[in-house]
Structure 1
């Protein structure tokens, strides 16, 4: 094995690179083997069917997004069909994303997420059970999956040997153009949800205006859905791009408290996600931290990411003026 043929120790090689030139980019690769244990679901056959391929790819893409918390957390370079497996070649461009992926894989969240997304994408009546294996070259990472540093090192030394396949590029473009999204996407699991928790909605890859790049579920809220704030009735609706930016600008240091209020029934904001956002976007400042928090909420909850839930979280933390701003109360009062 190439890794063991080096005269330097693995830790020296890996850490030496990591602590080296600041311009160095952390890049690694791995192969995810996925197999359905249901006799009714043959993933290689489905992926080979032009009509079902986009649905299977969509489920894979969303499950990987769940594992890292971002649609760009891991790149899919190629999907190979090798009965009974689908073999997905993955590329990681950030060590932190790779760590999140490994944690999700280790704790079974990636498996749960893929089973849920396959059920939705393929319009199945029950969950699609799958088994997974993670490999780099001749190394089987499942055997060392609790040794995170060792797994990271193996992935780091397995450099991608190809560019993204043209077929993958076309599939991702189809996702952005919503060419095969249907009404079955209106309900489903939240990020990293378990099979028994199916009350919230998964993110889809709907394209949105440049000012609002987060993803959401297609479809609108039921007509007549309202809520009460300060004795007035307001139409409930999905959080808009303007809401998103206003929240990020005005919430200031209380963004974490609001996040913990939104955390209820939103697994995408479970601990330690909020603290990790504070660290990850520390240099960018409060605006970006708050923006990314609400983006996680919207990505996870889809059409359930409503203005009512956001206003309730703001009210709970004493941010009444911000809630009024989002509901345009000040503007309405001026026109009275």
Structure 2
């Protein structure tokens, strides 16, 4: 069977069977003196580094589902991150984010916040599936998917990664029943009490700058209590401001929420919607707090 026939067979397999594939993401800082491997090798920094990688992948994939981290390893001068994808849509979104350069930007943003690195630090990434260097084929996403599908996982998730995942889940655990009663006009986030003030234009701009493609998820969480966002309102916003891009779509969503709800459009409702959407890093940014270790 020729290569075209093999490609067609793999495409049929992706349609008819449970799809999975494996890829290794290699990461490093370009700036001298900033080494991801140093954080990986030192216990105090390993969890923070893992959270950086997890948040970066969540941004790149557009959520928490459809993939898992199998292993972290020393690939000096790179940090190797072995990934398993369980469906084609999240894998395609990951490849799109990688190809357009968004993934290194996400990595730089989260590394600056969580690892104390300088803002805008340059990151380098490489991508490999089996023996294939995918950076050479990014203009052909179907070929990249084919190589990833051919590279089937050969291991279960590493015990170290399992422990880091559990530690991350514990850091997001809801308040225990012994948590003090929250005062009126306040709300609780990560066991801390915040003033539940009305949203401001600064909040609107900050949300738009960081929401990215997740603005729709937040909108659907808000529409449960906001009549102006019910029905086709969110899809209409996406269509109306498609040419202006994700920032403007997110900006208009928050504008619609503030305009329709008035003084009831409060910070606590937005943080609640971000928590429901599992966008904890954006909630931390909105509140201006240091990420929870």
TM-score bucket of the superposed structures, by smaller chain: 0.5 to 0.7
Counterpart CA distance in 2 for 1:256 and 1:269 is 10
Q: Which residue of 1 aligns with 2:81?
A: 88
Structure 2 equivalent of residue 177 of structure 1:
170
Aligned to 1:202: none
Q: In the TM superposition, what is the alpha-carbon distance from 1:113 to its structure 2 partner?
A: 0.2
In the TM superposition, residue 254 of structure 1 has moved relative to its aligned partner by 2.6
Aligned to 1:200: none
What residue is the counterpart of 2:283 in the other structure?
302
Cα drift, residue 141 of structure 1: 0.4
RMSD: 3.8
- 1:9, 1:59 → 2: CA distance? 40
Shift in Å, 1:45: 2.0
CA drift at 1:303: 5.4
Asked whether the equivalents of residues 297 and 305 of structure 1 are also in contact (C-alpha less than 8 Å), the reply is no
1:62–1:117 Cα contact (<8 Å) kept: yes
Distance 1:55 1:140, change over 3 A: same
Instruction: Identify the residue that residue 167 of structure 1 maps to in structure 2.
Output: 160
Question: How many pairs does the alignment contain?
Answer: 233
Q: Pick one of 170, 173, 188 that aligns with 1:207.
A: 173
Structure 1 counterpart SS, 2:232: helix
Partners of 2:190 and 2:84 in 1: CA distance: 29
The Cα of 1:293 is off from its aligned counterpart by: 10
Is the 1:220–1:303 contact (alpha carbons within 8 Å) kept by the matching residues of 2?
A: no
Find the partner of 2:142 among 149, 157, 167: 149
Query: In structure 1, what is the Cα distance between the partners aligned to 2:149 and 2:94?
Result: 14
CA distance in 2, matches of 1:120, 1:243: 27
What TM-score comes out, normalization by structure 2 length?
Answer: 0.67
User: Do 1:81 and 1:87's aligned partners in 2 also have CA atoms closer than 8 Å?
Assistant: yes
Which blocks of at least 5 consecutive residues in structure 1 are unaligned? 179-205, 210-215, 229-238, 271-291, 307-336
Which position in structure 2 is the counterpart of 1:127?
A: 120
Write the distance in 2 (CA, Å) between the matches of 1:294 and 1:12: 42
Partner of 1:67: 60
In structure 1, C-alpha distance between the alignment counterparts of 2:191 and 2:117, rounded to whole Å: 20
User: Partners of 1:84 and 1:244 in 2: how far apart?
Assistant: 47
Instruction: State which of 142, 149, 158 in structure 1 corresponds to 2:151.
Output: 158
SS at match of 2:153: coil
Distance 1:8 1:174, change over 3 A: same
CA drift at 1:262: 10
Q: 1:18 to 1:76 in 2, by over 3 A?
A: same
Structure 1 residues 143 and 8, CA, compared in 2 at 3 Å: closer, same or farther?
closer
- Tell me how far apart the structure 2 counterparts of residues 227 and 34 of structure 1 sit (CA, whole Å): 37
Counterpart residue number, 2:70: 77
Shift of 1:75: 0.8
In structure 2, the partner of 1:19 is 15
Q: Distance in 2 between matches of 1:93 and 1:247?
A: 35
What is the aligned partner in structure 1 of residue 197 from structure 2? Answer: 225
SS in 2 for 1:12: helix
**Does the Cα contact within 8 Å between 1:104 and 1:110 map onto a contact in 2?**
yes
